[in-house]
């Protein structure tokens, strides 16, 4: 006999308690206790005729997975901004709506990017290690010096929601902001930032560089691009590890061309290139830019809002 209260939604990744509670109440959702892989998602959907799926990186659905989904699935919701873990175009071909949560992460990611800028410029990793070892030695006027943030020029690659939010914060620290993107932003969105039509033209002007574009394809930052930065520049990445040739970054850091780096993302997550952990001039965090209670709740709620819209026969709020 058919289920009297069929599951409408599969939550295939771990989500905050508040998000899980709403999903169960509103959609009779099945909420996994550990992140599911893609084929487990497909198998569950076939067995339970679910209409919506909320996935994560581990359950990223590629073409073969999407082709195997039952026709009941109407939406694949992402609780993050990025969708590089799935085949969006093929899902569209199959008539499945794909959504993301582009606004939920903006402010916290911008906060975190500034944390990386400040920590890399002011040698936060080194200072913290000194204190945990017990300090015990005063430093003189010429020792353990960082580089000042105020007055520096920050280059932003990608002037979307997050890039613009970082620019506002940087201007609050007295930084000059330059940026590059596919097209120039409106004067009101620029808020005094200077546009460069391509990355190569902008890099020589960047004393600090921060990436805010999607990953995928060839690395954006290679030996050539790092070489275009002025000597003593600081590099920050809270976007995607795939944007960076890590051999080139390591060489730039060890040669002294870069003063330091602040990194939250890596090419082979979660198995980070151990060379970076050995460098004193790198501030490292484990892909945590959105990791606040408020943001993670909002990410989940945004995904559920999109599910509700599709299942009610309305347009998705955040279609990809």
Bridge partners of 244?
221
Please confirm, yes or no, whether 240 is among the known catalytic residues. Answer: yes
Nearest Cα to 211, choosing from 242, 189, 247, 173? 242
Angstrom distance (rounded) from CA 290 to CA 309:
25
Find the catalytic residue in 13, 22, 212, 240: 240
Peptide bond into 270 cis (omega under 30): yes
| Upper half-sphere CA count for residue 215 (Cβ side, 13 Å) | 19
Distance set, CA 80 to CA 1, 56, 109, 258 (Å)? 37, 8, 11, 31
Find the catalytic residue in 28, 205, 275, 287: 287
Q: Are 85 and 109 in contact (CB under 8 A)?
A: no
Please confirm, yes or no, whether 225 is among the known catalytic residues. Answer: no
Distance set, CA 223 to CA 180, 283, 289 (Å)? 19, 20, 26
Q: Are 229 and 204 in contact (CB under 8 A)?
A: yes
Angstrom distance (rounded) from CA 136 to CA 127:
13
Encoding tokens for residue 12? 């295939």
> Locate tokens 């105020």: which residue?
150
Angstrom distance (rounded) from CA 119 to CA 127:
10
Distance set, CA 83 to CA 87, 88, 99, 139 (Å)? 8, 7, 9, 47
Angstrom distance (rounded) from CA 196 to CA 205:
10
Please confirm, yes or no, whether 314 is among the known catalytic residues. Answer: no
Task: Name the helix (H) or strand (E) containing 72.
Answer: none
Find the catalytic residue in 128, 269, 280, 294: 269
Nearest Cα to 231, choosing from 147, 149, 122? 147
Residues assigned a catalytic role: 240, 269, 287
């Amino acid at each position: 006999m058919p289920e009297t209260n069929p599951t409408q939604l599969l939550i295939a990744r771990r989500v905050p308690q508040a998000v899980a509670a709403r999903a169960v109440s509103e959609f009779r959702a099945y909420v996994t206790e550990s992140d599911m892989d893609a084929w487990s998602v497909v198998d569950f959907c076939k067995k339970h005729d679910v209409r919506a799926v909320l996935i994560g990186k581990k359950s990223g659905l590629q073409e073969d997975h999407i082709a195997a989904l039952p026709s009941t699935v109407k939406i694949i919701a992402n609780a993050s901004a990025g969708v590089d873990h799935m085949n969006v175009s093929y899902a569209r071909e199959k008539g499945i709506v794909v959504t993301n949560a582009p606004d939920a992460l903006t402010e916290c990611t911008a906060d975190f990017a500034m944390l990386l800028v400040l920590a890399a410029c002011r040698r936060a990793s080194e200072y913290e290690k000194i204190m945990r070892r017990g300090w015990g030695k005063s430093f003189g006027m010429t020792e353990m010096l960082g580089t000042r943030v105020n007055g520096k020029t920050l280059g932003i690659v990608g002037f979307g929601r997050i890039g613009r939010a970082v620019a506002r914060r940087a201007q609050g620290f007295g930084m000059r902001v330059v940026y590059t993107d596919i097209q120039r932003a409106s004067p009101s969105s620029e808020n005094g930032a200077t546009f460069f039509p391509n990355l190569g033209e902008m890099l020589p002007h960047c004393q600090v560089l921060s990436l805010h574009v999607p990953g995928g394809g060839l690395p954006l930052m290679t030996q050539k691009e790092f070489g275009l930065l002025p000597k003593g520049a600081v590099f920050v990445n809270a976007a995607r590890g795939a944007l960076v040739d890590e051999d080139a970054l390591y060489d730039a850091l060890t040669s002294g061309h870069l003063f330091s780096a602040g990194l939250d993302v890596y090419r082979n997550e979660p198995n980070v290139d151990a060379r970076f952990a050995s460098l004193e001039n790198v501030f490292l965090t484990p892909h945590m830019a959105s990791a606040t209670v408020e943001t993670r709740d909002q990410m989940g709620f945004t995904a559920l809002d999109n599910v509700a819209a599709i299942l009610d026969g309305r347009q998705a709020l955040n279609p990809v």
